[in-house]
Amino acid sequence: MKPVRKVAFLTAGGLAPCLSSAIGALIEAYTRHAPEVVLLGYRDGYRGLLLGDRREVTPAVRQNARALLSFGGSVLGNSRVKLANREDCEKRGLVRPGQDPRQVAADQLARDGVDVLHTIGGDDTNTAAADLAAFLRQNGYELTVVGLPKTVDNDVFPIRQTLGAWTAAEQGARFFAHVVAEHSANPRMLIVHEVMGRNCGWLTAATAATYRRTLDDMTFFPDLGFTRRQREVHAVYVPEMAFDLEAEARRLKAVMDEADNVNLFVAEGACVESIIREMESRGERVPRDAFGHPRLDKVNVGQWFGQQFAALLKAEKTLVQKSGYFSRSAPPNRQDLALIRRCARKAVEAALAGQSGVVGEDEARGGRLRVIEFERVRGGKPFDIDTPWFTEMLAAIGQPKGAKRSVVHQEE
């Protein structure tokens, strides 16, 4: 195995509360264990790789890398570029007509003399990196690729906990703790809290559970009509769980009559297929991104839920609020930061040993932190609605647990 002389980083996909901190943790680990290795970062993910837009990690950056642990967003910048989507890469001007983006990326890595590429992203980011490494090997260039699993959805097989997901739930709960006070702005208020989660309801469920714990520390004043019931989570809707709209409307109407408001937590992917079918039946075109995903900001799941329930509950006012950008751009909390640093140390160990894969707690290996083989890494891990803490929460808020439903997964 040839010695590692140059290492590159990139972050890709949507933001999560782990990107800058993962870069900082990797720089710290290399500085400690292999200070002679040259480090560089490609700007804006695969876009920067295709364009050769890179920055070297200078001694000053190495010295202050710890500060990156407390930053949200990505110090390198992100983009949603799929190397396999030649047409989109051409349209963006990232490759010339007829060029294979993988070849362009491979040539750039070869010119830069990169021995190890660290990709920090979801399953698509890391499998794209694996495909790129295989392409390079076929063309006589060896590259070790070690990924770190980023996604607030926590939906990557076989990884128990993806980086940033705990923080996103905590920040989403913090967001709603402010928004919920709007129940006092108008009688019969319906508040819909839309949470990120295209195919997986883990973040919505975890955000609701985290928020409900904050209610345990609040003092309420029932003599003034200020009760926990008003601030409670009244329903949680996730892609993996079916529900009866009319039955739920009857249940929530009783809540509205008693508490004078209703608070819903809704995953952005809940009922999305039905909503898209409705839109297309009206002749509306649903825009899609480079990965083929429906643009959920155009689908507006939260708005759909608000419209469905507002009339049925006789709500006087409906407020739809999305916590996604607030929660995903936060710096990591202590729990996430500890996991990020553990994963970064393991990633550097693997890189120096020439071992490719994605670092994570492998559910099929007893949750052991290891370098997971690329071929075993894929998205679409559903949230288990039979998880005890979730079923206990539903029972506590009086919501029936609906039947499980399958969710068609789309990549990152």
153 annotated active-site: yes
Computed over its alpha carbons, how large is the radius of gyration of the chain? Answer: 23
CB contact at 8 A, 302 and 266: yes
Residues 207/169, Cβ–Cβ less than 8 Å: yes
Cα dist from 81 to 92, 101, 173, whole Å: 9, 10, 31
Contact 408, 155 (CB under 8 A): no
Nearest-angstrom CA–CA distance, 61 and 65: 6
Sequence-separated (6 or more) residues with CB below 8 Å from residue 49 = 10, 42, 105, 108, 109
DSSP 270: T
Give the integer Cα–Cα distance in Å for 163 and 156.
11
Annotated catalytic residue within 44, 115, 124, 153: 153
User: What residues contact 259, with CB distance under 8 A and at least 6 apart?
Assistant: 227, 229, 230, 232
Residues taking part in catalysis: 153
